Amino acid sequence: MKLSDGVEWSLHCAVVLASLPSEATLPGSALAEFHGVSESYLLKHLKALTKTGILESVSGPKGGYRLAKQAEDITLLDIVEAIEGTESAFRCREIRQRGPACLEPSAYKLPCAINATMLQAEQAWKAALRRQTLSDLVEHLGNNLDPRAIEKSGAWLQENVRC
């Protein structure tokens, strides 16, 4: 399975926003600059996160984006599904019922084993993402990032955060 760049970008932006004071915001342009990504493409994903209630968009001179709820209430699956949608990644087209070796439809009483296996794997993947919250990710990164990156990020945030 291949997820879009928007998932990575959205997760990174959510981590940055989770590190801000609750009333602070960052403009989409600043988030794009911080991550070195396309502003127009990132804004599309920030809007999707806003539409699903993960982010809040604040207008005005102190406007920008911030989390709409607590980081511990946002799962990584919430973010993935906000960007990619909730439709299953695997779509069984029942090709076993096509071609020269196929039988009459009534011969296929059992569900397709390939479909069942793929759906089971997808459910396991989703369950793992559902167990991980944004606050878990922030904590992990805070404990494992190079201190120089934390210092540089903090200095940049002080210049760009709007309160």
Work out the mean pLDDT of the chain and round it to a whole number.
Answer: 93
For 162, phi and psi rounded to 5 degrees? -110, 130
Residue 142 has a pLDDT of 87
Residue 81 has a pLDDT of 96
Q: How far is CA 148 from the centre of its chain?
A: 26
Mean pLDDT confidence for 57-78:
94
Domains in the chain: ranges and CATH: 5-160 (1.10.10.10)
- Give CA–CA dist 3/5, Å, rounded: 7
Structure tokens at 64: 């920008």
User: pTM here?
Assistant: 0.88
- Please state which of the ranges 4-13, 47-56, 146-155 shows the lowest mean pLDDT: 146-155
pLDDT bucket at 47, cuts 50 / 70 / 90: very high
Residue 50 has a pLDDT of 97
Residues in the chain: 163
Instruction: Tell me which of 147 and 1 has the higher pLDDT.
Output: 147
- DSSP letters for 80-128: HHHHH-SS-S-----GGGSSTT---GGG--SPPHHHHHHHHHHHHHHHH
Q: Among 15, 50, 33, which residue's Cα sits nearest to residue 139?
A: 15
- DSSP letters for 29-67: HHHHHHHT--HHHHHHHHHHHHHTTSEEEE-STT-EEEE
